[in-house]
Structure 1
Amino acid sequence: MLKLTPAERSELRSQAHGLNPVVLIGEAGLTPAVTKEIDAALNAHGLIKVRVFGDDREARVGMYDTICAELGAAPVQHIGKLLVLFRPKKEEEKQRQEKKGRGMREVTIVKPSASGTKRPSVTRVLLKGNERVTAGGNIKRAKARQTSQKKSSLGGN
């Protein structure tokens, strides 16, 4: 089970305020399928809310402790039937998300021959972030965003 400082817990509570519950625990309680679903949600989001349908407070507290112990999550908040859990995302996933959409990427372009009887030409090209390959195999840059004539003539007043 992860330990959080009071400042971290407060920050996570404020982040979780606008979240909706992603996992619901029903009559059957904390089954292996529910635990697996909570684990998947923690992997995807890091900070989640879980709603428990049941009136027994002691059972909810027990579920909360069990989830945190089994999945290595930190208990953030328990208000009524809502449980807020946190587990930092895996490092490899963070790195993959940081790399996504940045820098150059390699693309293979296959163009058929003009006569259709010869082999297609295959070329590997490095594209910048603002470039794309068209259906015909040509490289195009993204156009600059259009600005509103009305807004520019008003001058921001």
Structure 2
Amino acid sequence: MSNKTLSNADIKHLKGIGHHLNPVVIIGGNGLTDTVIEEIARALNDHELIKVKIPAGSKDEREAVAEQIAEATGSTLINSIGRVVLLLRENPEANPKLSNLVRFG
């Protein structure tokens, strides 16, 4: 599954996996800091598919934060519901014991 060629079936499958995940990073009051970006990037390396809880705000503000995260980490925004975003960045060398794509795929 390349980031550019996600079909509707791929997205539906990823959403199904994501449904069972808990957010691995929660962005606090300081917002999107370099440290938070690094932590999200590390989590993507380990797990490939992750949920991130973003700060409260208007729908437009939440969408902007989600897009900033995806751009800063080189990931694909799969889904966004309320304050939770689902991100994908495939790692061909991911640890099968940590990768949500391998464990739940």
Once residues 84 and 20 of structure 2 are traced to their aligned partners in structure 1, the CA distance between those partners, rounded to angstroms, is: 13
Q: Which runs of 4+ in 1 moved over 3 A?
A: none
Query: What TM-score does the superposition give when structure 2 sets the normalisation length?
Result: 0.80
Pick 1 or 2: higher relative contact order, CA cutoff 8 A, min separation 6.
2
- C-alpha distance in structure 1 between counterparts of 2:27 and 2:50, whole Å: 13
Alignment of 1:52-67 (within 5 A): 52-67=54-69
Q: Is residue 44–residue 89 contact of structure 2 (8 Å, CA) maintained in 1?
A: yes
Does structure 2 conserve the Cα–Cα contact (< 8 Å) formed by 1:46 and 1:87? yes
Paired position in structure 2 for 1:49: 51
Pairing partner for 2:11 from 9, 12, 21: 9
TM-score, normalisation: structure 1: 0.55
5+ residue gaps, structure 2, are 97-105
Q: Which amino acid in structure 1 is aligned with residue 47 of structure 2? A: H
Decide which structure has greater strand share.
Answer: 1
- In angstroms, what is the RMSD of aligned CA positions? 1.5
1:68 maps to what in 2? 70
Give the paired residue count.
93
Q: Using the TM superposition, give the Cα deviation of residue 78 of structure 1 relative to its aligned residue in structure 2, in angstroms.
A: 0.3
Percent of aligned pairs with the same residue?
A: 37
What CA distance in whole angstroms lies between the structure 1 residues aligned with 2:58 and 2:78? Answer: 20
What residue in structure 1 maps to residue 24 of structure 2? 22
Which consecutive unaligned segments of at least 5 residues does structure 1 have? 98-157
